[in-house]
């Protein structure tokens, strides 16, 4: 069974490679909120852009969410808790001025990188290099 707090998942690594190829530099697995142990997968500090790569199953993607039949009650709770934690993280980050980009496992890394690159470059305008 896949562990919940996986790092370096296949979709995350593919996205990181695509961002790196475009000359973007970022930090990985940063804890951005003091009140939360949750880490954010890919972080652009200067542009204040955070990227969360979410597995379709664990984070109940709108297209691919499934409900396991065995231990249905336990899974329903577990997946609900994950969604609630995601919502709290999003709210917390926005409250302190971060822009959060959510990338689903099913998305193409190129499309996701397009969105992220546009946002990062826009938010860097006016900064010294």
Residue 108 beta carbon to Zn ion: minimum distance, rounded to whole angstroms: 12
Q: Helices (H), strands (E): how many in the chain?
A: 3, 4
- In which order are the strands placed within the sheet that holds 40-44? 27-30, 40-44, 49-54, 99-104
Residue 65 beta carbon to Zn ion: minimum distance, rounded to whole angstroms: 8
Structure tokens at 26: 């970022």
Which residue, 57 or 75, has its beta carbon nearer to Zn ion?
Answer: 57
Which residue, 11 or 98, has its beta carbon nearer to Zn ion?
Answer: 11
Q: Which residues contact 1 (CB under 8 A, 6 or more apart)?
A: none
Which residue, 103 or 120, has its beta carbon nearer to Zn ion?
Answer: 103
Q: How do the residues of the chain divide into helix, strand and coil, expressed in percent and rounded to 5?
A: 40, 15, 45
Question: Given the rule CB under 5 A, which residues bind Zn ion?
Answer: 56, 61, 63-64, 104, 106
Which residue, 56 or 102, has its beta carbon nearer to Zn ion?
Answer: 56
Residue 61 beta carbon to Zn ion: minimum distance, rounded to whole angstroms: 3
Residue 54 beta carbon to Zn ion: minimum distance, rounded to whole angstroms: 8
């Amino acid at each position: 069974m896949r562990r919940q707090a996986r790092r370096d998942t296949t979709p995350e690594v593919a996205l990181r490679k695509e961002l790196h190829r475009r000359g973007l530099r970022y930090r990985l697995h940063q804890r951005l909120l003091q009140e939360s142990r949750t880490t954010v997968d890919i972080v652009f500090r200067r542009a204040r852009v955070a990227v969360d790569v979410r597995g379709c199953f664990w984070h109940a993607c709108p297209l691919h969410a499934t409900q396991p039949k065995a231990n249905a009650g336990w899974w329903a709770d577990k997946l609900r808790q994950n969604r609630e934690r995601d919502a709290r993280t999003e709210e917390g980050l926005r409250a302190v001025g971060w822009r959060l980009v959510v990338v689903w496992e099913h998305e193409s890394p190129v499309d996701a990188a397009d969105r992220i690159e546009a946002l990062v470059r826009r938010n860097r305008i006016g900064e010294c290099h």
